[in-house]
Every structure is written in C-alpha cells, then in structure tokens.
Amino acid sequence: MSAAALHVRGLTAGYGPVTALRGVSLDVPDGAVVAVLGGNGAGKSTLLRALSRTLAFHGGAVTDGTVTFADRPLHTLPPDRIVAAGLCHVPEGRQVFARMTVEDNLRAGALAARKGTKAGAFKRVHELFPVLAERARQRAGLLSGGEQQMLAVARALMASPRLLLLDEPSLGLAPLMAARIADTIREINAQGTSVLLVEQNAALALRLASQAYVLEVGEVTIEGPAPELAASDEVRRRYLGVVDEEAADDAAPAEVPHLARWEHA
Ligand SMILES: Nc1ncnc2c1ncn2[C@@H]1O[C@H](COP(=O)(O)OP(=O)(O)OP(=O)(O)O)[C@@H](O)[C@H]1O
Ligand SMILES: [Mg+2]
C-alpha cells in the first residue's frame, strides 16, 4: 500500500459568487498531525468540505486545483467513495444523530468502513472513549457537549480512516474537556492515523501538530513547522492572544503577584 500522504495543490472553491479558498496548497505527510489555523470565515471548514467532497451539500463547489491521497486523485471521486479511500471528516458542530443511541451512531460510522477494517473498531473506540461504552444505550442527544464531540470523533474512527479531518474539535468545550480531546487526538495519531486539524484554538493545535498553516480570507499566508509558528510574533499576537510584550512590560506595575502565580500554575 502506498504511503497515505495528502497533497493539495492550487485548491480554489466557493459558494456561488463567494470565493472561499484561493489557490490553497498544503501537505499532510503519512502519519503526521497538521494544523490549519485561521479566524472566523477564513475558509477552514470550506477546505475540509472540499477535501471530503461534501462542498456541494453546502451549495459550494471546487473550481480549480488537485487533491491526491495515497497517490490517488481525490478531486474526481464522488463523495461516497471518499471514506472508502481512507478519509473521514468530522464536521464542525459535532453532528451526532441525536435521537439514535450512542451504539447506533457508532454502527452508522462503520457502514462506510473499508473492507476488512470493521473487526476491532468497536473495541478500539471503546478503549479510546470508555464513556461511550458506558453510555452505549443512551440517546446521543443526551450526552454532554464534550461527550458528543467524542462520539463524533469515535463515529469517524469506526470507518478506520487513514486520515482524519477534524473541524474545530475543541470549539465550545471547557479547557479540561478540550485537553482530553487533545490527548485523544494524540493517541489516535500514535495508533497510525494521520490528522488534519482545523482549529481557532491555535495554542491547542500547535501543541499537537508538527506542521501548520495559517489561512486568511481563503489563502495560506503563513506555513511552517508548528514550533516555528508558535514562536512567530505575528502568530503569537494574532492567534495566540499574546499582547506586545514590551508594551505590556512598560504598562505593567512592578509587582503583580497574582500574575506570577498564574504563570506558575
Ligand atoms: N454554505 C455557505 N454558503 C455561502 N457562503 C458560505 C457558506 N459556508 C461558508 N461560506 C462563506 O465562505 C467563507 C469561508 O467560510 P468557512 O465556513 O469555510 O470559514 P471558517 O474558517 O470555517 O470559519 P469559522 O471559524 O467561523 O467556522 C466565508 O466568507 C463564509 O461566509
Ligand atoms: Mg468553520
């Protein structure tokens, strides 16, 4: 089997007259976690929809560019072949089937699984998310927001993807729950699944990723190794919420004990 690397070149997409992606190129090496950062409306969800070929369901279309995965062109495949090709997309807003049980949500995820990958999938997701085993017969709509996000990720894993596309998995979660989701993403990756992670939570994404891209108004404006982006002044100021440190030093009183305590917490 060829290495499951994703290569995106010159991807241009939009919704009618609105161009949402302009000539986006990026790579997800086999086995990597790659992050895409960007503010509201930057085109992050559009990128994932273009990759999973679900853009048409949102009234959009890809107008230019190529996508290859494991040396196969994806941009010509129909959407129902994408999961079989090894990509699974967890859309933003954790869209679980609220009226179905947790177990049936997981079964639904296995429907599109690649041949020979179903056995062991339940065991794997129950090990990753023990709470989903405990709540197997509960309706998914009754789970907490964080548990629903876990279920959305777990449902995608039931298809044993080689590349997981995650759209803002930490959105709306309390810091502790977001940290648990981050740990799980690390574990999923350690088990051999590549991850393309779209996040507004740049701090979380840069801790997980080896490589990162910044998307602004549909274009890649910054790219590089995640530690380099985490150290860059522009990324720190615009995406990590770090204020200009010199100005902050000038403005700060000589002693700020509660800030010092916070730093060492
Ligand atoms: N279904 C749609 N129909 C028309 N325009 C859309 C649609 N979805 C997104 N857009 C537009 O495309 C652009 C990119 O939106 P997109 O949802 O990809 O951004 P995003 O980076 O995911 O933002 P957010 O962080 O808010 O989720 C925006 O200008 C948005 O208004
Ligand atoms: Mg989005």
Distance from C-alpha of 209 to C-alpha of 186, rounded to nearest angstrom: 9
Mode of pairing for the β-strands spanning 163-167 and 211-216: unpaired
Least distant ligand from the CA of 202? 1
Residue type, 227: P
Question: Which domains are present in the chain?
Answer: 6-99+159-231 (3.40.50.300)
What is the structure's pLDDT at 256? 41
- List, for residues 161-174, the tens digit of each pLDDT value: 999 999 999 998 88
What is the structure's pLDDT at 257? 41
> Is the C-beta atom of 92 inside 6 A of ligand 1?
yes
54 C-alpha vs ligand 1 centroid, how far in Å?
A: 14
30 C-alpha vs ligand 2 centroid, how far in Å?
A: 24
Alpha-helical (H) ranges within the chain are 44-51, 102-110, 121-128, 130-134, 145-157, 175-190, 202-208, 226-231, 233-238, 245-251, 257-264
14 C-alpha vs ligand 1 centroid, how far in Å?
A: 9
- Low-confidence stretches of the chain (pLDDT < 50) are 1, 248, 251-265
For residue 78, give both structure tokens: 């129909």
Rg of the chain (C-alpha set)? 19
Alpha-helical (H) ranges within 52-136 are 102-110, 121-128, 130-134
Contact 95, 45 (CB under 8 A): no
Distance from C-alpha of 124 to C-alpha of 159, rounded to nearest angstrom: 11
What is the structure's pLDDT at 157? 94
In sequence order, the 6+-apart residues with CB closer than 8 A to the CB of 109 are 154, 155, 156, 157, 158, 159
Residue type, 77: L
Question: How many angstroms separate the most distant Cα atoms in the chain?
Answer: 65
Beta strands in 5-56 (DSSP E): 6-15, 18-28, 33-37
Distance of CA 97 to the CA centre of its chain: 20
> Is the C-beta atom of 40 inside 6 A of ligand 1?
yes
Residue nearest to atom 5 of ligand 1 (CA): 15
For residue 54, give both structure tokens: 């679900």
